[in-house]
């Protein structure tokens, strides 16, 4: 409210002009937009971190690590094979006993990377060693179970040092590049 004091107009205390209100609203809007930008950025980072920790790629990497460790630790230290098969698949094969009372090696586990469809698979089955006149060869017989343990594999290498086998795998789904290396020691005689 305005007062008239002898020809001078003065503003009454306690009110805001329209310009002051608009400046205050503009400043508040800028602050709210800044806070919203920070929250949106934090949400995006959270989603990326969650996907890295709990996403399909990490689940498959964990399954590959655990499966490799379990199978290799059951394997005999006497023999193994690492090779590239006729289809270009990088392979590692270990042999183990069906149970502790088995007298001969009667099971195998084979890990193989198939570059044509970028998958890492594991195959289990029955078999036996037999002498072919020159060397002791593994003969597959019985049932075979195979399943894919990782997709989007861009590279895989199997190596051996003493009784240990290692698998280095790179998983890449286009958004996330996840290298894993797992080493396990063959324990059985």
Q: How far is CA 135 from CA 16, 35, 103, 106, 129, in A?
A: 99, 73, 20, 18, 10
Confidence of residue 13 (pLDDT cuts 50, 70, 90): low
- pLDDT at residue 6, as a whole number: 61
Contacts of 181 (CB under 8 A, 6+ apart): 166, 167, 168, 169
Give the pLDDT of residue 72. 95
Place of tokens 């290298």: 179
Q: How far is residue 118's CA from residue 115's CA, in Å, rounded to a whole number?
A: 5
Among candidate residues 58, 85, 43, 49, the one with its CA nearest the CA of residue 169: 58
Give residue 122's pLDDT.
96
Span 41-99, pLDDT tens digits: 999 999 888 877 788 888 999 999 999 999 999 998 888 999 998 888 899 999 988 87
Mean pLDDT of all residues in 26-41: 95
């Amino acid at each position: 409210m305005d007062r008239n004091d002898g020809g001078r107009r003065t503003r009454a205390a306690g009110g805001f002009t329209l310009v002051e209100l608009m400046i205050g609203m503009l400043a508040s809007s800028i602050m709210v937009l800044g806070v919203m930008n920070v929250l949106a950025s934090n949400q995006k980072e959270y989603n990326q971190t969650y996907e890295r920790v709990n996403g399909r790629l990490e689940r498959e990497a964990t399954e590959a690590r655990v499966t490799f460790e379990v199978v290799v630790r059951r394997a005999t230290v006497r023999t193994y094979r690492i090779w590239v098969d006729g289809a270009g698949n990088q392979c590692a094969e270990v042999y183990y006993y069906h149970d502790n009372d088995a007298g001969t090696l009667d099971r195998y586990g084979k890990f193989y990377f198939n570059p044509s469809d970028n998958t890492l698979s594991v195959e289990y089955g029955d078999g036996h060693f037999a002498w072919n006149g020159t060397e002791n060869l593994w003969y597959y017989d019985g049932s075979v179970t195979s399943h894919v343990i990782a997709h989007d594999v861009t590279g895989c290498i199997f190596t051996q040092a003493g009784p240990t086998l290692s698998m280095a795998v790179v998983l890449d789904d286009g958004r996330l590049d996840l290298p894993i290396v797992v080493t396990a020691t063959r324990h059985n005689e």
